[in-house]
Amino acid sequence: MTKTRIVLAIAIVAIVGGIVAALALRGGDGAGVLRVANQKGQIKSMMIASGVLDDAPYTVEWSEFPAAQPLLEAVGSGAVDLGLAGDAPFIFAYQSGSPIKAVAVQSSSGRSAGYLAIVVRKDSSVRSVKDLTGKIVATTRGSIGHHLILEALERAGIAPDKVKVTFLPPGDAKAAFDSGSIDAWSTWGAYTSVAVREGARIVVDAKDFDPAFSVDVAYVPSIEPKRALIADFLEREARALAWARTHRDDYAKVLSKETGLPLEIARDTAGRSDREARPADAAVIAREQQITDRYRRAGFFAGDKPLTDAFDTSFGTSPNP
């Protein structure tokens, strides 16, 4: 498979489809439909592979996005009801005024090496974050990659304006990286796997920093009308996460089929599937406050909305079988 086809397979922009027949709760007002945004097939593939949605009494309509920013824009506009994103892009969107709330939190237990990273070409002179001074680094605005750049620079004592950050969607960033028009790329997931397998070097690995969380983000006006559907979906999602931790190869095969990724790239992604549901406790809030403060210091928003209002804890924590 060519590099271009791999990137196109990763960056599917909008594929909408239902995966489960509505068995109950259906009606013309959409009460029996949950519209879920998905990044690069991952949660969708996991839930399909695990079979947790097979007996769901409602229809799930999936929409695919290449990154968290467009996914959260879709959630915030009401185009979808729910979507999973990293905590940094969630905070960026929330503090920017989007009508969204986190209804569930997922944590990773440490298999995330190389999942979120700043990469350079193999012949690059950049060997550490300090070498990024004066260089051009691409990422998506408000993404986990964007936050990684800010956090890495802060820890190295380098002012954010000492590095030129250019904001590109993942497909364009990959093309710029391959052509040499940027010096480094702060990226995640399958994008990282593709770059490393093609010879890129990791110079900053997020596993060495504070733990990051993933959050299920809901459009606020959808929460009450679809509370029962959202609660049921979150419980099934938690079961899928548990299943994926012990069925990585099965997950990888479905992920490859759903996204068009080469099986070895899908296996890289599945091999890091160790997330599990957890409560939005003090540790989560403290991390989100750090992210808020870091984005604000860098001048990306002036908002200071209370983080306690960013989380709807009424759904509780889904059990992990």
160 touches 105 (CB < 8 A):
no
Average pLDDT over residues 13-29: 31
DSSP per residue over 23-56, as a string? -SS--TTSTTEEEEEEETTHHHHHHHHHTTTTT-
Q: With cut-offs at 50, 70 and 90, classify the pLDDT of residue 113.
A: low
pTM, full prediction: 0.85
Q: What's the CA gap between 8 and 271, in Å, rounded?
A: 22
Task: Indicate the average pLDDT of the chain.
Answer: 87
Alpha-carbon torsion (71, 77, 83, 86), positive or negative: positive
Q: What's the CA gap between 102 and 219, in Å, rounded?
A: 9
pLDDT at position 63 over 90: yes
Residue-level pLDDT at 48: 95
pLDDT at position 16 over 50: no
% the chain with pLDDT above 90:
74
Q: Residue 138: phi, psi to the nearest 5?
A: -100, 145
181 touches 153 (CB < 8 A):
no
DSSP secondary structure letter of residue 208: G
In Å, what is the CA distance from 298 to each residue of 161, 188, 290, 301? 9, 22, 12, 8
Q: Pick 270 or 47 by higher pLDDT.
A: 47
pLDDT tens digits, 30-59:
569 999 999 977 799 999 999 999 999 999
Average pLDDT over residues 99-119: 85
pLDDT at position 23 over 70: no
74 touches 80 (CB < 8 A):
yes
% the chain with pLDDT above 70:
87
Q: What's the CA gap between 18 and 27, in Å, rounded?
A: 15
End-to-end CA distance of the chain: 38
Identity of the amino acid at 106: Q
Q: What's the CA gap between 66 and 39, in Å, rounded?
A: 6
Residue-level pLDDT at 29: 43
Top CATH class, 116-208:
alpha beta
Six token digits for residue 31:
């009460």
Q: Pick 3 or 130 by higher pLDDT.
A: 130
What's CA 267's distance to the chain center, in Å? 18
Q: What's the CA gap between 132 and 43, in Å, rounded?
A: 33
Residue-level pLDDT at 31: 60
pLDDT at position 104 over 90: yes
Given CATH 3.40.190.10, say whether it is the number of domain 3-108+212-315.
yes
Residue-level pLDDT at 110: 58
Q: With cut-offs at 50, 70 and 90, classify the pLDDT of residue 2.
A: low
- Alpha helix segments (H runs only) across 115-271: 144-155, 170-179, 189-197, 220-223, 227-246, 248-259, 263-270
Q: What are the sequence ranges of the domains in the chain?
A: 3-108+212-315, 116-208
State the helix-helix crossing angle for 144-155 and 282-297, rounded to 10 degrees.
80
In Å, what is the CA distance from 30 to each residue of 34, 50, 61, 159? 8, 26, 11, 49
196 touches 276 (CB < 8 A):
no
pLDDT at position 8 over 70: no
pLDDT tens digits, 190-238:
999 999 999 999 999 998 887 789 999 999 999 999 999 999 999 999 9
3-108+212-315 against 116-208: fold identical: yes
Q: What's the CA gap between 42 and 254, in Å, rounded?
A: 9
